[in-house]
């Protein structure tokens, strides 16, 4: 660890500016997606998709294609594959875990075939915000626009299908199609986020900020707003710290996200540990006094 | 209205020769042993499952998913919901949840949500998270969501499951009030008829693989219920109404 006296100059470098622009777009999309990832019980799928991207990235290096392209192809493909498997959470978890393991194995193979050096593999696994190129930024911009616009358009039916799938289906909401659309959006988000925090740390940017927001409020719009704010704070402060102290930005970004979550958890613990009062008696005793208006 | 309807699900015939008409404004108990196809009947009515043979009409139309005149509360409704949604937001989805595009919820829509919450006696906890509510409160919110769009037909699947005596009595009272307020037909799947007897006017019973319809008085007989459940059932008549009990 080393303090960088020239940190103001570091902040003005091209790679830092790219990092700030790219990180901002990633925080925006990841924060917005987080609420849905949690309500759809897709947290594990999000984690798995990042790992499924690993062979995509190493495979792209193997054939000399852009890493972002490899990530996108594998994430979207893996997402659709997971979507094909049962709607029931238990079934999905097992299918997801199996696909995750298979993909990671493939990633190791590609990495060894491509004789990629250890640092390339490390970049995929842990991300490197400082290595984002101008071309990648354009692609990030495109992904961000697509995710934000589509998400805004399908937000209400998606909330309905997420929290109340049986009724939503009866009311004519295309639950299955929305599920597929969501998983594609998730794959695009993860493709970007992997390049910021890597496959291993992705959870901290896609799930953790929304989880913290959800502790503070249950209103979908506010949760999304808070999640974006937390994710932005993590990325910005993380980058700033990595300019001041010469340590990987991924470490700072993830640490701040986790710190925010932990603080919120402590602040809200009273509200959430209050279990409904249970009657002391058994059988026919009335359970909870109903609040009638 | 069913005419010669049979249903096949997963290659197995669930039931057949269903021909019956439920009168508008009735409160209908849908009864039968486990696996007889009670929930399947609802899925037919909602247009989520096609009839293998015959013709089915609900509120004068062939059912299709998305009919706003039908309110639906599925079984184990409340169990699936976590802490990610407030009671009020859930009810609002009954009005706005099917609409794509970006728009704010209007004042009129908020007013309808408030009205629905008030009608089910849930106005006091509309701002609480679903996970913070008791089973009876969650069931009320679920019913509020089903009626918020002024449904003409309510399909409730086991609304009294997991409720204690007092809560289940209150939900039954609520169903009676809803029916008195406006002309609404209510169909309730229930494994236990007893708590519902005060409000039921009709019954659809699934016997020997066929659905039948009859006024409730004709269904609550010892012979029919014994046959239906495959175990000896005695009907005890009390001053408050019919009450049937099972005995081995």
CB contact (8 A) between residue A218 and residue B83? yes
Question: Is A290 part of a structural domain of the chain?
Answer: no
Q: Report the distance separating Cα B245 and Cα B232, nearest Å.
A: 9
pLDDT at residue number B11? 62
Question: A136 lies in which domain range?
Answer: 7-270
- Residues in Cβ contact with A196 at an 8 Å cutoff, skipping those fewer than 6 apart: A22, A23, A26, A127, A129, A205, A235, A250, A253
Q: What is the mean pLDDT of residues A200-208?
A: 84
Please state, for a pLDDT cut of 90, what percent of chain A lies above it: 27
A15, A45, A198, A241, B77 from A250: Cα distances, Å = 15, 21, 8, 11, 41
Nearest-neighbour CA in chain A from B150: distance (Å): 13
Q: What are phi and psi of A88, to 5 degrees?
A: -70, 135
Question: Is A206 part of a structural domain of the chain?
Answer: yes
- The band of A209, judged by pLDDT with boundaries at 50, 70 and 90, is very high
Could you say which residues from 136 to 155 on chain B have a Cβ atom under 8 Å away from some Cβ of chain A?
Answer: 136-137, 145-146
Q: What is the mean pLDDT of residues B218-235?
A: 78
Does A288 or B248 have the greater pLDDT score?
A: B248
pLDDT at residue number A273? 47
CB contact (8 A) between residue A169 and residue B73? no
pLDDT at residue number A266? 92
Question: Is A147 part of a structural domain of the chain?
Answer: yes
Question: Is A120 part of a structural domain of the chain?
Answer: yes
Q: What is the mean pLDDT of residues B143-163?
A: 87
CB contact (8 A) between residue A169 and residue B129? no
Question: Is A280 part of a structural domain of the chain?
Answer: no
Highest mean pLDDT (candidates A51-65, A262-276, B8-22): A51-65
Question: Is A293 part of a structural domain of the chain?
Answer: no
Q: What is the pLDDT of residues A228-266, one digit of tens each?
A: 999 999 999 999 998 889 888 889 999 999 999 999 999
Domain count, chain A: 1
Q: Report the distance separating Cα A230 and Cα A236, nearest Å.
A: 10
Interface contacts (A, B; CB < 8 Å): 128
pLDDT surpasses 80 at B42: yes
Question: Is A287 part of a structural domain of the chain?
Answer: no
Tokens of A249: 């930005």
Within a 10 A sphere around the Cβ of B127, how many other Cβ atoms?
11
Q: Return the H-helix or E-strand segment holding B151.
A: none
Question: Is A277 part of a structural domain of the chain?
Answer: no
Q: Find the Cα–Cα–Cα–Cα dihedral A144, A150, A154, A155, rounded to 10°.
A: 20
Nearest-neighbour CA in chain A from B72: distance (Å): 6
pLDDT surpasses 50 at B63: yes
- The band of A122, judged by pLDDT with boundaries at 50, 70 and 90, is confident
ipTM (interface predicted TM)? 0.85
- The band of A278, judged by pLDDT with boundaries at 50, 70 and 90, is very low
The CATH number of the domain where A138 resides is what? 1.10.3470.10
pLDDT surpasses 80 at A88: no
Nearest to A286 among B66, B145, B166 (CB): B166
């Amino acid at each position: 660890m080393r303090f960088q006296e020239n940190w103001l100059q570091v902040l003005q470098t091209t790679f830092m500016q790219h990092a700030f622009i790219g990180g901002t777009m990633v925080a925006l999309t990841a924060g917005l997606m987080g609420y849905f990832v949690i309500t759809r019980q897709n947290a594990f799928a999000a984690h798995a998709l990042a790992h499924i991207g690993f062979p995509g990235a190493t495979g792209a290096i193997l054939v000399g294609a852009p890493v972002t392209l490899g990530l996108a192809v594998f994430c979207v493909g893996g997402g659709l594959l997971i979507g094909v498997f049962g709607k029931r959470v238990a079934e999905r978890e097992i299918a997801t875990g199996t696909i995750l393991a298979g993909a990671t194995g493939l990633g190791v193979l590609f990495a060894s075939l491509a004789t990629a050096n250890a640092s390339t593999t490390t970049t995929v696994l842990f991300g490197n915000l400082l290595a984002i190129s101008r071309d990648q930024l354009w692609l990030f911009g495109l992904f961000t626009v697509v995710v934000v616009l589509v998400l805004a358009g399908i937000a209400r039916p998606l909330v309905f299908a997420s929290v109340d799938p049986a009724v939503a289906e009866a009311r004519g909401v295309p639950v299955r199609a929305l599920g597929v659309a969501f998983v594609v959006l998730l794959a695009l988000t993860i493709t970007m986020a992997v390049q910021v925090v890597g496959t291993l740390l992705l959870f901290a940017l896609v799930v953790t900020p929304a989880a913290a927001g959800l502790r503070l409020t249950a209103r979908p719009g506010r949760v999304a707003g808070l999640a974006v704010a937390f994710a932005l704070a993590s990325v910005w402060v993380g980058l700033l710290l990595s300019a001041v102290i010469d340590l990987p930005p991924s470490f700072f970004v993830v640490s701040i996200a986790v710190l925010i979550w932990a603080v919120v958890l402590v602040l809200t613990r009273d509200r959430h540990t209050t279990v409904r009062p249970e009657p002391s008696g058994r059988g026919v005793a009335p359970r909870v006094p109903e609040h009638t208006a | 209205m069913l005419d010669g309807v049979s249903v096949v699900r997963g290659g197995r015939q669930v039931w057949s020769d269903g021909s019956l008409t439920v009168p508008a404004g009735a409160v209908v108990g849908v009864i039968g042993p486990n696996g007889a196809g009670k929930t399947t009947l609802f899925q037919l009515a909602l247009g989520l499952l096609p009839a293998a043979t015959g013709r089915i009409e609900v509120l004068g139309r062939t059912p299709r998913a998305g009919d706003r005149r039908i309110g639906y509360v599925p079984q184990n409704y409340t169990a699936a919901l976590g802490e990610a949604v407030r009671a009020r937001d859930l009810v609002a989805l009954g009005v706005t949840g099917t609409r794509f595009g970006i728009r704010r919820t209007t004042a009129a829509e908020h007013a309808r949500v408030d009205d629905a919450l008030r009608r089910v006696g849930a106005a006091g906890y509309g701002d609480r998270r679903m996970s913070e509510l008791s089973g009876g409160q969650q069931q009320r919110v679920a019913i509020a969501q089903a009626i918020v769009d002024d449904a003409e037909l309510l399909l409730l699947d086991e609304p009294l499951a997991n409720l204690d005596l007092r809560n289940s009595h209150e939900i039954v009272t609520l169903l009676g009030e809803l029916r008195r307020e406006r002309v609404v037909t209510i169909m309730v799947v229930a494994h236990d008829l007893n708590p519902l007897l005060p409000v039921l006017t009709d019954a659809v019973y699934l016997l020997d693989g066929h659905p039948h319809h009859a006024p409730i008085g004709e269904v609550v007989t010892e012979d029919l219920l014994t046959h239906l459940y495959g175990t000896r059932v005695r009907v005890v008549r009390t001053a408050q109404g019919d009450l049937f009990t099972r005995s081995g």
